Amino acid sequence: MRYVGLVLLAALALGACGTEERPDSAAPAYRIEPSCPHTAQHLQGLTVDQLNRIVASADLPAWKAADIGSSAELRDGRMVWVFGDTIRAEGFSPRLVANSMLVSDGACVAQLRTADDGPVIPDIGPDEVHWPMSVVAMPPSQQYAGLGIDEVLVVMTARTQRGTDNLDFQYLGTSAAVFTLQDGGSPQLMEVVEVTPDDEALDQVNWGAAATVFGPWFYVFGTRATGQEFGRELYVGRSAVSDPANRSRWEFWDGQAWQGEQSRAAAVLPARGGVSQTLSVDHLDGQWVAVSKRDGDLGDFVYVWTAPEPYGPWTPKKGIAAPAGFDTGELKYAPLAHPEVPLANGKLLVSISRNTTDPQQLFEDPEVGLPEFAEVERP
């Protein structure tokens, strides 16, 4: 489970921290459509073929295809899935929005819709958007006592400057979008908090590329492009779950020990043979498990890394084929693990984002951009 107190947001100020936006509290609520009957427990005996059929058959006009798809399990048993660029049905304007959210209950999949049918995390400007990287579910902090709030979602996003096409973009910094919800209810956006300040440096650490909680610690992982390799370095920091607002207790692994200076953080994986910009990291069955392409999204295989500690040593194992596809125009990238969803064969569920180098094809045939579920051996 990925739980930690909401006050972590105050501690996530790795650089300058401020509130980008606080939605109007009188604005119409976000809503979930369609309404799903509640299922007391996960579907049992699932296969990846069944999951892919569920996604392909979902009748969701505001969600026809999307990438990334980081997931979190809610305390009421539902699942939340957070996506990046999302294609909607004809009739929506614009057809493409920067992010979206699905909520699943058993085999029923619903979409979170806003009052104006825009992205669930509003754009910063005409060409600056929020692309989700990871999501955590957590109990509310004391500030929400008496407000009927049962749970909080924090979506770590990459503030991104769009370019001239779907492969032209620049990471600027990390933000955290905070949603609140009641059991069985719809997530409501409360605020968007700047975690790291805008920086056009191509070699900065992208904090929030993965996040999880284990024991007394909240762990946040970052990736960094060196400019010398296609893969990315991996970094890790942590904060005490009991006191995440205390900035003095934040620690970063420097290669030898945990210490308090972010600038001294050392890579726990090198760029050569390294990971993609976004990945998943979980603590499973007594060990740490990371899922990503090796050598970044230009790699052709999903890899699974295991380690006894969040800082390693990390041991890679080749998983399944997922050709990058730049030679065919059919792209496969950003594999993520979903250990919250049990498979009948005991393997580890992963999703692989798909896209095309032809944007017009994506609008005409959104199925080419549907995420694909697959499975790898559970370490």
Write out pLDDT tens, residues 97-116: 999 999 999 999 999 999 99
pLDDT in tens, 250-277: 899 999 999 999 999 999 999 999 999 9
More confident site: 228 or 167: 228
Is the model's pLDDT at 343 over the cut of 90?
Answer: yes
Specify the range with the lowest mean pLDDT, choosing from 22-31, 200-209, 296-305, 342-351: 22-31
pLDDT in tens, 73-98: 999 999 999 999 999 999 999 999 99
For the purposes of burial, counting CB atoms within 10 Å of the CB of 25, is it exposed (0-12), middle (13-18) or buried (19 or more)? exposed
pLDDT in tens, 358-371: 989 999 999 999 99
More confident site: 290 or 14: 290
Is the model's pLDDT at 13 over the cut of 50?
Answer: no
Is the model's pLDDT at 279 over the cut of 80?
Answer: yes
pTM attached to this predicted model:
0.92
Are the CB atoms for 370 and 363 separated by under 8 Å? no
Is the model's pLDDT at 59 over the cut of 70?
Answer: yes
Are the CB atoms for 375 and 350 separated by under 8 Å? yes
Quick check: helix, strand or coil at residue 79?
Answer: strand
More confident site: 4 or 236: 236
Average pLDDT over residues 55-73: 95
Q: Residue 219: beta bridge partners?
A: 212, 238
Q: Residue 347: beta bridge partners?
A: none
Is the model's pLDDT at 5 over the cut of 50?
Answer: no
Q: What is the pLDDT of residue 140?
A: 80
Quick check: helix, strand or coil at residue 57?
Answer: helix
Q: What mean pLDDT is reported for the chain?
A: 89
For the chain, the domains span 8-20+41-376
More confident site: 28 or 60: 60
Is the model's pLDDT at 7 over the cut of 90?
Answer: no
**CB-based burial, 346-371: b 16+ in 10 Å, e otherwise:** eebbbbbbbbbeeeeebbeebebbbb
Specify the range with the lowest mean pLDDT, choosing from 18-22, 238-242, 347-351: 18-22
More confident site: 344 or 45: 344
Q: What is the pLDDT of residue 306?
A: 98
Q: What is the pLDDT of residue 165?
A: 65
CA distance to 18, 122, 150, 173, per residue, from 22 (Å): 11, 11, 20, 19
Average pLDDT over residues 174-197: 93
Q: What is the pLDDT of residue 333?
A: 96
Q: What is the pLDDT of residue 146?
A: 79
Are the CB atoms for 198 and 167 separated by under 8 Å? no
What percent of the chain shows pLDDT beyond 90?
76
Is the model's pLDDT at 3 over the cut of 50?
Answer: no
- The class of domain 8-20+41-376 in CATH terms is mainly beta
Average pLDDT over residues 118-127: 96
Residue 21: pLDDT band (50, 70, 90) is low
